[in-house]
Amino acid sequence: MRRNRARQKEIALQRVEILIEQCTDSAKFDMSIARRQAAIARTLCLRFNLRLPYEMRQIYCHGCKNLILPGMNARIRLSKRRKAVTITCLDCGFIYRKILRSYSEEEQT
């Protein structure tokens, strides 16, 4: 039973990776299909308790959990004052800030 669950997780992760790869391609011609694919991938992650790598997590808005793609429904800016990357969702207006740290600061911590 336990081994079966691990196998299910493995298959789910493969399917999530395929769905996310396809959703970025299909967004070029139909955004509704891309949104549906992203939603299915997210549902699989929640059902099988999967943690996606950072790059894959960034395609979801942290506010409304919808698919966000730069240039389509998201805006990415670099902030000089905060030294951060700002990702704004143009659907719900949520602003996600990723603070950038220099190499010297990272070595100290």
CB of 16 to Zn ion, least distance (A): 20
* Residue closer to Zn ion (CB basis): 17 or 91: 91
- CB neighbour list of residue 56: distance below 8 Å, 6 or more residues apart: 16, 17, 20
The distance of Cα 12 from the centroid of its chain, to the nearest Å, equals: 16
Site for Zn ion in 53-72 (CB under 5 A): 61, 63-64
Supply the DSSP symbol for 89. E
Any contact of residue 94 with Zn ion (CB under 5 A)?
Answer: yes
Counting beta carbons within 10 angstroms of the beta carbon of residue 19, is it exposed (0 to 12), middle (13 to 18) or buried (19 or more)?
buried
CB of 93 to Zn ion, least distance (A): 7
Any contact of residue 92 with Zn ion (CB under 5 A)?
Answer: yes
**Bridge partners of residue 77, in order along the sequence:** 86
CB of 76 to Zn ion, least distance (A): 14
* Residue closer to Zn ion (CB basis): 20 or 59: 59
DSSP three-state, residue 53: coil
Binding site residues, Zn ion, CB under 5 A: 61, 63-64, 89, 91-92, 94
